[in-house]
Amino acid sequence: MASQKVVANGPSKASLPPNPLPRWLRTNNVYLFIPNIIGYARIILASISLVYMPIHPITCTILYGVSCILDALDGWAARKFSQSTKFGAVLDMVTDRCTTSCLLMFLSAAYPDQPSLKILFQFLLSLDLASHYMHMYAMMEKGAGSHKSVDREQSKILNLYYTNKTVLFTFCAFNELHFVSLYLLSFPSPSAARDAILPFIKGMAYITFPICAGKQIINFVQMARAAETLVNIDKHNRMLASQLNGDKSE
């Protein structure tokens, strides 16, 4: 870069950015980067929450909630310590998809007297997995450096969703809060203490519903745009192949 001083033996020490990590935390092993360690902690907490999910809703909610909060922390750590990696990005997305899928799987069986909800939760689970898989694959085929690198020409909605951290956090947080509130409401009331917070849980379910519904719309748009991107790539590749074959035949 123009601002970088170059000497005979390479860039000067003054041009190198200072490492904000203490010496004992510095490593070149990607597996041991701080954001990825936070990611492992998320997996452990989410896994333990699954054990408590059918038997102890409060414990499960606390563990699940801490795992979700760490989702925001690992992104901050990646930027703070300049440790953003492709492995970390995929680990983060896979953890998100797995935790949400497990919660939706539980919800699909949590309301046996309302079979239509089972179909709805199964649909939402499928939409979540399909949209994110297709989106990541389409962005990879497009040559984007990240699945969040969505330009406005591809989709104004997705561009706002992925580039505005406030929007991204709000939709993801409210989406999880809505499903968690439905999870808590699926349990019978065993105590007066739970009866006392029941209005709060119901209120949270109502308040978060519009944003959760919007998140499902975003998932659908994401899947549709990913399909469009892949089709356009296919068309372009087939056109190049046709032109190449035409040149050979001549």
Catalytic sites, residue numbers: 96
Neighbours of 29 (CB within 10 A): 7
| Residue type present at position 178 | H
Tokens 């968690």, residue located: 180
| Residue 215 CB contacts under 8 Å (≥ 6 apart), including other chains | 171, 172, 174, 175
Tokens coding 50: 């699954």
Secondary structure of residue 6 in the 3-state scheme: strand
- Return the closest-CA partner of residue 217 out of 101, 150, 127: 127
Q: Are 80 and 112 in contact (CB under 8 A)?
A: no
